[in-house]
Amino acid sequence: MRVTTCEMHTCGEPLRIVETGLPDIIGNTILDKVAFIRENCDDIRKFLMHEPRGHHDMFGTLRVEPDLPSADAAFVFMNNEGYTTMCGHAIIALGRYCVDNGIVEAEEPETLVNIQCPCGLIPTYVSSNKERSGRVRFHSVPSFVLQMDVSVRVPKIGVITVDISYGGAFYAFVSTDALGLTSKAADALTAVEVGQAVTNAIKKLIKIKHPENEDLGFLAGTIIVDRTGLDTKNLVRQMAVFADHELDRSPCGSGTAAHIALLHAKGLLGVNCEKTFQSIVNDSKFVGRVIRKATCGLFDAVIAEVGGNAYYTGRSLFTSEDEDPLMTGFTSRPRMTAHTIET
């Protein structure tokens, strides 16, 4: 293999953009292309996401031909486990990437880039203001609450209450209070184990269905929300655990869109009212709001706007040798040995 990439990050969450080294990707729709990649060239995902070239929390994207006439570019998202339908932190980085690489011609004061991803078309707005370098905002697909106040029994935790919401992918939302956690970085390792346990328990309990496309019907992960200060200041802290025990360094873009839909449904966020979403990384923040109301199937939905900053970190050339027994990579991560939560 010989693959070149552009490396970026959005609020601390990495994005590895594959530029060369891909085979021809076949499929009539972007979801067909995801299936083709999964079945025929998944080694590229493992090669770039896994160690020794990547790490357990790496995230990447492959550019494919769009099938929507209004799309400027189309991308498939990949992580340590497989492929996902939407990634907001990637969209923010890709908006800037598309402008900087001439995929879309730059305009003042910002450039609209229509990015197609597996969940649909994402209008993305890239600022040309030098004082706001790296600033990008996007408008979500119709985002909605699937279920509220779902009781689920999680092994070694007990019965907790979660909400399930969609922002291009489905997430479960659970309060730190229910788990005995905080949103500080010191609790990150515990959050990964607990978040994964919550996701696994919900998958066994509930069949997730999207009202318009069965390929979008899966639970992407769990977002642990720190409710502290929710009613007194315009800040929400959250930790997103997705894929296979993967912890988002950013506040999670698609998860933030889903959270905006949830807050609006609960009467906690009005139209055009901004809220800031912060991750465990200092200064890692997204600003979000409800743009307008919408529908998705029979569900009341909203179009959410999520904005953040993306930056370049380098470029890479990755190669392999035929004799290397670890050519396609491997995964490893720290495992919890203590601090198992009991309730």
The DSSP-derived string for 140-195 is: PSPBEEEEEEEEEEETTTEEEEEEEEESSSEEEEEEHHHHT--SSGGGHHHHHHHH
Mean pLDDT lowest among 224-228, 240-244, 317-321 = 224-228
- Report the DSSP beta bridge partners of residue 75: 63
pLDDT at 184: 65
Per residue in 190-215, pLDDT tens?
A: 889 999 999 999 999 999 999 999 99
Torsion angle of alpha carbons 188, 234, 228, 171, nearest 10°? -50
As a CATH number, domain 144-307 is 3.10.310.10
pLDDT at 334: 58
pTM: 0.94
Q: What are phi and psi of 169, to 5 degrees?
A: -150, 155
Express as a percent the part of the chain with pLDDT over 90.
84
State yes or no: pLDDT of 339 exceeds 50: no
Report d(CA 40, CA 25) in Å as an integer.
9
pLDDT at 150: 97
38 vs 134, higher pLDDT = 38
The catalytically annotated residue of 6, 11, 87, 252 is 87
pLDDT range class, residue 131, cuts 50, 70, 90: low
Which of 15, 110, 2, 88 minimizes the C-alpha distance to 313? 15
Lookup: tokens for 243: 């894929």
pLDDT range class, residue 228, cuts 50, 70, 90: low
State yes or no: pLDDT of 278 exceeds 90: yes
Among this protein's residues, is 87 annotated catalytic?
yes
State yes or no: pLDDT of 175 exceeds 50: yes
Amino acid code (one letter) for 142: P
Average pLDDT over residues 118-147: 91
pLDDT at 335: 53
Mean pLDDT lowest among 117-121, 187-191, 221-225, 296-300 = 187-191
The CATH superfamily label for domain 2-139+313-317 reads Diaminopimelate Epimerase; Chain A, domain 1 (3.10.310.10)
Is residue 266 helix, strand or coil?
coil
Residue 291: count other Cβ atoms within 10 Å of its Cβ. 15
Residues of the chain with CATH 3.10.310.10: 2-139+313-317, 144-307
Beta strands in 37-102 (DSSP E): 60-64, 73-78, 83-84
Q: What are phi and psi of 211, to 5 degrees?
A: -70, -15
Mean pLDDT lowest among 25-29, 136-140, 154-158, 197-201 = 154-158
Report d(CA 21, CA 41) in Å as an integer.
11
